[in-house]
């Protein structure tokens, strides 16, 4: 399989872009080409207002096994500088997903382990199948979840991070939902219908409002007290209320209720 096939890109007439991790023979483990492709794709889509949502999923029976073993073996005897470069490349992928201006969803069709569980922490909405396995398994290899930790801990909370980072234990979809890594679970046969229901709700909302809501969430999470973001929030809602999108939608709503 060529590097160009590691990531499949499809865009439908609704503006939904589906990115499929496409290395099923190694359970869609991250290759350098796949990570570069994800970064480049999110950069290319960032300023495209026609993109309503980006969907991440896996080819075959897995979402992703995380780091590729062949790639990892090449790093065993690597220098400190080699590992710094590699880690920064992984961080660029995580940040590209986390910083995406449009909603990003994960359609978790199977196992999502180690770095793949970290990737799930960067998406806005994750729907996963029962029977999938998750885990931050780095300590089992004598490693630490250093790069994903900045994204995972805010997602699952410090208490859960302490347990699952330190044990490296693998857990099921029900646990992933309970700790906040995944939002909703469904049977494999129901994944398409469940995911499409959530995506449909998302597509009914105002795209500009959604793009403005994402930095709002980031700002709130970074603040210690409501007063810290008061001016930002006041200016944001005042600006949005005067936007064409909000004016049209509010007028339509009021006309229907009138």
SS (H, E, C) 81-110: HHHHHHHHHHHHHHHHHHCCCCCEEEEECC
pLDDT surpassing 90 at residue 60: yes
pLDDT score for 2:
38
What does the pLDDT average to over 182-200?
99
pLDDT surpassing 80 at residue 70: no
Give 76's pLDDT tier (boundaries 50, 70, 90). confident
Is the dihedral angle over the CA atoms 42, 44, 49, 54 positive or is it negative? negative
Per-residue tokens: 36: 């570069």
pLDDT surpassing 90 at residue 119: yes
Q: Are 111 and 62 in contact (CB under 8 A)?
A: yes
Share of the chain above pLDDT 90, in %: 91
Give 206's pLDDT tier (boundaries 50, 70, 90). very high
pLDDT surpassing 80 at residue 64: yes
Q: Are 107 and 191 in contact (CB under 8 A)?
A: yes
Among residues 112, 92, 74, 77, the alpha carbon closest in space to that of 37 is found at 92
User: Max Cα separation, the chain?
Assistant: 71
State the Cα–Cα distance between residues 17 and 19, nearest whole angstrom: 7
State the Cα–Cα distance between residues 126 and 120, nearest whole angstrom: 7
What does the pLDDT average to over 65-89?
85
pLDDT score for 40:
98
Among residues 5, 31, 46, 6, the alpha carbon closest in space to that of 17 is found at 46
Other residues' Cβ atoms within 10 Å of the Cβ of residue 112: 31
Give 4's pLDDT tier (boundaries 50, 70, 90). low
pLDDT surpassing 50 at residue 1: no
pLDDT surpassing 90 at residue 72: no
pLDDT score for 52:
99
pLDDT score for 49:
96
- Strand 184-186 vs strand 125-129: parallel, antiparallel, or unpaired? parallel
pLDDT surpassing 70 at residue 3: no
What does the pLDDT average to over 131-150?
97
- Which residues have C-beta within 8 Å of that of residue 118, sequence separation ≥ 6? 66, 94, 136, 145, 147, 148, 151, 152
What does the pLDDT average to over 184-211?
99
- Strand 125-129 vs strand 104-108: parallel, antiparallel, or unpaired? parallel
């Amino acid at each position: 399989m060529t590097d160009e096939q590691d990531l499949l890109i499809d865009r439908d007439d609704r503006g939904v872009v589906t990115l499929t991790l496409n290395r099923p023979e190694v359970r869609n483990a991250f290759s350098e080409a796949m990570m570069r492709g994800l970064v480049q794709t999110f950069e290319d889509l960032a300023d495209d207002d026609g993109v309503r949502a980006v969907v991440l999923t896996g080819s075959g029976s897995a979402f992703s096994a995380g780091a590729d073993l062949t790639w990892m073996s090449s790093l065993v005897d690597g220098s400190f500088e080699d590992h710094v470069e590699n880690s920064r490349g992984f961080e660029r992928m995580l940040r590209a997903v986390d910083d995406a201006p449009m909603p990003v969803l994960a359609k978790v069709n199977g196992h999502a382990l180690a770095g793949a569980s970290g990737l799930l922490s960067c998406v806005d909405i994750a729907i996963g199948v029962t029977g999938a396995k998750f885990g931050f398994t780095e300590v089992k290899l004598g490693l630490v979840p250093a790069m994903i930790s900045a994204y995972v801990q805010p997602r699952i909370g410090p208490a859960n991070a302490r347990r699952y980072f330190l044990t490296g234990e693998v857990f099921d979809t029900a646990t992933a939902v309970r700790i906040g890594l995944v939002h909703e679970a469904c049977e494999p046969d129901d994944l398409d219908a469940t995911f499409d229901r959530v995506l449909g709700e998302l597509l009914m909302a105002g795209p500009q409002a959604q793009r403005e809501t994402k930095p709002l969430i980031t700002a709130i999470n970074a603040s210690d007290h409501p007063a810290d973001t008061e001016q930002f929030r006041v200016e944001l809602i005042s600006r949005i209320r005067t936007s064409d999108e909000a004016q049209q939608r509010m007028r339509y709503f009021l006309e229907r209720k009138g």
